[in-house]
Amino acid sequence: MKRDLSHWLQDMVARYERPLCQYAYRITGNPEHARDAVQDTFLRLCRKGVLPDDHVVPWLFRVCRNRCIDIIRKEQPMEPLTDARAAVLPAPDPSPAEQAGLREAVSLLLQKLAELPARQAEVIRLKFQHHLSYREIAAVTALSESNVGVLIHTGIQTLRRQAAQL
């Protein structure tokens, strides 16, 4: 049984590490936090045990999302007190110049996506990057299925309009 779990988990990590990291990074905006959240998610999965195939994806994304929010929240309470300090501390790489270059590398469509309201962008990513159904997205985000439909529709409409203008 343990052997099975181990194999299964290995498979899960191989399949979902990258999608979860992408997702977590979008929420936390910080690769370290994203990594921690994803590791935490898998450790929880390990304790949870083998899940049926159709459950595991929403489970992973949901738990991962919660871990991210937890981490963000954990970080934030001190934040208002620290803004002034934060302003003068060295930030790690990449350097400002490198950042500018990287920013240019992002396609126009993804830039527009990033300008959408965060919730719309999130469900659009879950749909088109991670291929979750409306129903699964609803389970992950704790929104209703029809709410997800509205968010995706609204986001897609905005992107279509912007694409037409270009």
Partner 1 sequence: MNPSNPDIQLTAYALGELPEDERRAVEARIQADPALQAAVDEIRALAAQLETELAGEPAPALSDAQRQAILDASAGGGGRLARFPWRRLTGFAAVAAAVTLVFGGVFWTATRSLHGTLLARIDEKGEMAIMEYEEQQLDELLEELSPPDELADLVIPVAPPEVEMGMTPPPDIQEFAAAPVMYEVAELEIASERLSPKPKTMPDVSAPAAHGISGAEAVGSVNGKAFPADGRDRMQRVSASGIVVAGRQDDSWIKLGKAPAHMTVSFQDAPSTLANRAAGRASSLRGYGGGIPACCPPPDGIPPLSNTESYAPIEGNAFKSILEEPLSTFSIDVDTASYANIRRFLQAGQLPPPDAVRIEEMINYFPYTYEPPREGVPFAVHVESAACPWAPSHALVKIGLKGRDLDAESRPPCNLVFLIDVSGSMSSENKLPLVKKSLRLLARQLTENDRVSIVVYASATGLVLPPTPGSQLAAINAAIDNLQAGGSTAGGAGIRLAYDQARETFLKDGNNRVILCTDGDFNVGITDSDELASFIAERAKQGIFLTILGFGMGNYKDDRLETLSNKGNGNYAYIDTFSEARKNLAEQAAGTLFTIAKDVKLQIEFNPARFASYRLVGYENRLLAKEDFNDDQKDAGELGAGHTVTAFYELIPHGVEPPAPAVDPLKYQPQPAAEEEPAAPAIDLENASPEWLTVKLRYKLPDQDTSTKIEVPFTGTFSDFSEASADFRFAAGVAAAGYLMRHDSAVHSIGFPDVVDCTAAATGPDPEGYRREFIDLLKNAAVLDCP
* Residue list 68-127, contact with partner 1 (CB under 8 A): 69-70, 72-99, 102-103, 105-107, 109-110, 113-114, 117-119, 122, 124-125, 127
Nearest distance from C-beta of residue 111 to partner 1, angstroms = 10
Scan residues 22-51 and list those touching partner 1 (CB under 8 A): 22, 25-27, 29-36, 38-40, 42-44, 46-48, 51
**53 scored as a contact of partner 1 (CB under 8 A):** no
Smallest gap, in angstroms, from Cβ of residue 67 to partner 1?
Answer: 8
Angle, in degrees to the nearest 10, between helices 2-28 and 53-75: 50
- DSSP letter string, 27-80: HHS-HHHHHHHHHHHHHHHHHH----HHHHHHHHHHHHHHHHHHHHHHHGGGHH
- Cα separation, 94 vs 98, whole angstroms: 6
Q: Which of 15, 53, 66, 123 binds partner 1 (CB under 8 A)?
A: 66
